[in-house]
Chain A
Amino acid sequence: MSDVTYIDAIHAALDEAMERDPDVFLYGQDIGKFGGAFKATKGLQEKYPGRVLDAPISEDAMAGVAIGAAIEGARPVLEMQFADFSSVAFNQIINQAATHYYRTGVPVPLTMRLPSGGTPGSGPFHSQSMEAIYSHYPGLVVVTPATVADAHSMLLDSIAMDDPVIYCEHKFLYRWLKSEDLSGDRLPIGKARITRPGKHATVVTYSAMVHEAVRAAEMLYKDGGWEIEVVDLRSVKPLDTDTVIASVARTGRLLALGEAFPWGGVTAEVVSRVCADGFHLLDAPPVRLNSKDTPIPYHPKLWSSHRPTPESIAEELRKLLDY
């Protein structure tokens, strides 16, 4: 195989999961014959008759259906057309799916795929990153793969897991991110990865921002030989605090980076945990960099300034290194 994209990896994982386990089925809008808005399910309805179901435009009921099927022993993979629309399904996910195991002892093995994050021209309602919202609720696992191999193995792991998993796949990576094949280190959900080792500062991030952080790190290396360590959280819940703290212990400096809105969220959680557990390791106040605190703008010129860029990340890192 050559040039496997991130969306190919998702498609391959769905195919493999369905091949492997007859209890796996797919549910979502336009996912049948049409193959989904992003073609993640292309050809699967034909290959697995009766197991790829087109849903009406009813996100709340779609989540409810997935929950009921999961309670009954099936393994539904629910596709939200865009992460943004999962707000309509919020009640079912946080009140029904998330609480069910704790209340009844019966797990809810569903995977909800959320096409997340911004792409140029997508605007306020097709660009959101919802991982922090879902991570807030006990009972939900929230994963945010940043690589082709992770997109593949983490989707398989999500489907195999008995707990409800919110699988946040970044739309910007769908076709842009390519790999030679699907092989990787197959780290389990809950383990972060050192994407790029370094010694002068740590960037803790996830999803598409991993790639922006690596670009910023390359810029700083060229600029002054700075060696920036990039930690890819991979899953934001659970959050691998140990790997983060160990990195900060090596570098003494922390930038928590994310594409989501700045109030609270994953970057705040990372900083909070590092301050609580590793305050003595810090040589400088930890820094957070997120999107701006406005809705996500439509125009590419506004959008590209709304989210962190390699330039803005490098600028924050320079300030952090200068402290």
Chain B
Amino acid sequence: MDDTPKDLDQSSERNHVRRVFHAMLTARVLENKLGSLYKAGKIVGGVYLGKGQEAVSASMAACLEKGRDVYAPLIRDQAGRTAFGEEILDCTRTYLGSVKGPMRGRDGNIHRGRPAEGMLAMISHLGAAIPVIAGMLIAKRLKGELDGVVGATCVGDGCTSTGAFHEGLNTAAVEKLPLILTVANNQYAYSTPNDRQFACHDLVDKAVGYGVRGHSVDGTDMLACIKVMQEAVARAREGDGPQLVVASMLRLTGHGEHDDGSYVDAALKSSGLGRDSIEVGIKQLIEGGFATVEEIEQWQQEAADQVQQAVAIAQKEDGPDPYKDDWMAYSNPGMQMQR
């Protein structure tokens, strides 16, 4: 099931903008549904949403080419996953525990991916995907397949405090790899505000220290995100090495659906950072002549139908059967200890 309408598939600038927004909108519709399913007790485990971060997430992934580029989405990248070409069914099957999902019930929620298709399945340890994407690019270089290829991943402000972020970005810089590392600075890591996370004036200043190019963008501004991401990805493709993109916005939801986010500063909510990138995007589409109100409404309806269908399919499917799972942690059966 290809979730992207055919007329959005072309590469013109106009269609690129439409494609980015379409992924943002689809993600929002899907995430609203996931939130409802969580509150209805239909989802075991957590639900983690990317509300507010759709523009930055989708605008980065929309520049990638599935089958050629590699991508490591993180916790708030539903829009990027959709833009990269992940099927809605992969999401609903994983959240609802269908054995037919890519993780077969062995892992859940946002910990899903299709590494053989260039999309990693995240682990919970922040920054861990940065060197892994770098390694994928090194393998491509080894095989002589790196020309024009990029790898991309998105992390949050909290991740910039980890050793993995430092080691990963430094390593990518030393190897001059075509890596786009986006920091979605949504002002809070779970409940920890930026002033307890880092002491630098602006996270993009870190780019200088790593010897990579830095880009800053208002993460609530869809068109600005599109422009900056296109530039960063193009530079990486051309051999300019790693690109650090820092996008600022506010998380418009709790850390997970279990969290009401009551610690978020009211002043931030009413500031420009608190704008909803979907609302900004709708305004930009209409004012810029990228799409009409009717088209947007139609996309929304189509997305709702697709999400409804994907939920219904996943809900009907069996969960994993402990008697049928092969319980194999090794691809080589001889290595599996029986007990």
Query: A residues bordering B, Cβ < 8 Å?
Result: 22-23, 25, 50-51, 53, 55-56, 58-74, 76, 88, 91-92, 95-96, 98-104, 106-107, 138-139, 141, 161-163, 188-190, 237-239
Interface residues as binary, B66-78 with A (CB distance below 8 Å gives 1, 0 otherwise) = 0000100000000
Across the interface, A239 reaches (CB within 8 A) one of B120, B121, B332, B337, namely B337
The answer to whether the Cβ of B312 comes within 8 Å of any Cβ in the partner chain is no
Query: B residues bordering A, Cβ < 8 Å?
Result: 70, 102-103, 106-107, 111, 113-116, 120-121, 123-125, 128-143, 163-164, 166-168, 170-171, 174-175, 328-332, 334-337
Chain B residues whose CB sits within 8 angstroms of the CB of A71 once the complex forms: 115, 120, 132, 135-136, 139
Across the interface, B136 reaches (CB within 8 A) one of A69, A107, A189, A239, namely A69
Chain B residues whose CB sits within 8 angstroms of the CB of A96 once the complex forms: 123, 125, 128, 132
Chain A residues whose CB sits within 8 angstroms of the CB of B113 once the complex forms: 104
Whether B121 contacts A103 by the Cβ 8 Å rule is: yes
Whether A60 contacts B131 by the Cβ 8 Å rule is: yes
- A102 to B107 Cα, complex, angstroms: 9
Chain A residues whose CB sits within 8 angstroms of the CB of B142 once the complex forms: 22-23, 25, 50-51, 69, 74
**Nearest B residue (CB) for A95:** B123
Whether A163 contacts B138 by the Cβ 8 Å rule is: no
Smallest beta-carbon distance B274→chain A, Å: 34
- A188 to B13 Cα, complex, angstroms: 57
Known A-B contacts A92-B128, A101-B330, A104-B115; the reply to A163 vs B135 at CB < 8 A is no
**Nearest B residue (CB) for A241:** B337
Whether B111 contacts A72 by the Cβ 8 Å rule is: no
Residue among B136, B143, B330 with the highest chain A CB neighbour number at 10 A: B330
**Nearest B residue (CB) for A103:** B107
Query: Which 7 pairs between the two chains have the least Cβ-Cβ distance?
Result: A68-B135, A64-B131, A61-B167, A72-B139, A58-B167, A65-B135, A68-B132
Across the interface, A104 reaches (CB within 8 A) one of B103, B125, B129, B163, namely B103
Inter-chain residue pair count (beta carbon < 8 A): 159
Whether A103 contacts B111 by the Cβ 8 Å rule is: yes
- A102 to B143 Cα, complex, angstroms: 26
- A268 to B295 Cα, complex, angstroms: 67
Smallest beta-carbon distance B313→chain A, Å: 21
Whether A65 contacts B332 by the Cβ 8 Å rule is: no
Whether B136 contacts A68 by the Cβ 8 Å rule is: yes
Whether B164 contacts A106 by the Cβ 8 Å rule is: no
Whether A106 contacts B116 by the Cβ 8 Å rule is: yes
Chain A residues whose CB sits within 8 angstroms of the CB of B336 once the complex forms: 238
Smallest beta-carbon distance B113→chain A, Å: 7
Chain B residues whose CB sits within 8 angstroms of the CB of A98 once the complex forms: 329
Whether B107 contacts A161 by the Cβ 8 Å rule is: no
Whether A238 contacts B337 by the Cβ 8 Å rule is: yes
Can you offer 5 A-B residue contacts whose CB atoms are under 8 A? A68-B138, A91-B128, A103-B103, A104-B103, A106-B115
Smallest beta-carbon distance B188→chain A, Å: 23
Known A-B contacts A23-B142, A51-B142; the reply to A65 vs B331 at CB < 8 A is no
Across the interface, B135 reaches (CB within 8 A) one of A70, A101, A106, A141, namely A70
Chain B residues whose CB sits within 8 angstroms of the CB of A73 once the complex forms: 139, 143
Whether A102 contacts B106 by the Cβ 8 Å rule is: yes
- A139 to B123 Cα, complex, angstroms: 15
Smallest beta-carbon distance B325→chain A, Å: 10
Smallest beta-carbon distance A16→chain B, Å: 18
**Nearest A residue (CB) for B163:** A60
**Nearest B residue (CB) for A60:** B167
- A55 to B170 Cα, complex, angstroms: 10
Whether A104 contacts B102 by the Cβ 8 Å rule is: yes
Known A-B contacts A74-B143, A103-B111; the reply to A162 vs B131 at CB < 8 A is no
Chain A residues whose CB sits within 8 angstroms of the CB of B116 once the complex forms: 104, 106
Residue among A60, A95, A98, A100 with the highest chain B CB neighbour number at 10 A: A60
Chain A residues whose CB sits within 8 angstroms of the CB of B137 once the complex forms: 68
Chain A residues whose CB sits within 8 angstroms of the CB of B332 once the complex forms: 141, 161-163
Whether B329 contacts A64 by the Cβ 8 Å rule is: no
13 further A-B pairs in the complex, CB-CB below 8 A; given A53-B138, A95-B124, A107-B331: A58-B131, A58-B171, A61-B130, A61-B131, A61-B167, A64-B132, A68-B133, A69-B142, A72-B140, A74-B143, A96-B125, A99-B123, A139-B329
Smallest beta-carbon distance A146→chain B, Å: 20
Whether A68 contacts B168 by the Cβ 8 Å rule is: no
- A221 to B332 Cα, complex, angstroms: 41
Whether A60 contacts B164 by the Cβ 8 Å rule is: yes
- A190 to B331 Cα, complex, angstroms: 15
Smallest beta-carbon distance B217→chain A, Å: 26
Whether A189 contacts B131 by the Cβ 8 Å rule is: no
Residue among B135, B142, B337 with the highest chain A CB neighbour number at 10 A: B135
Whether B132 contacts A67 by the Cβ 8 Å rule is: yes
Smallest beta-carbon distance B150→chain A, Å: 14
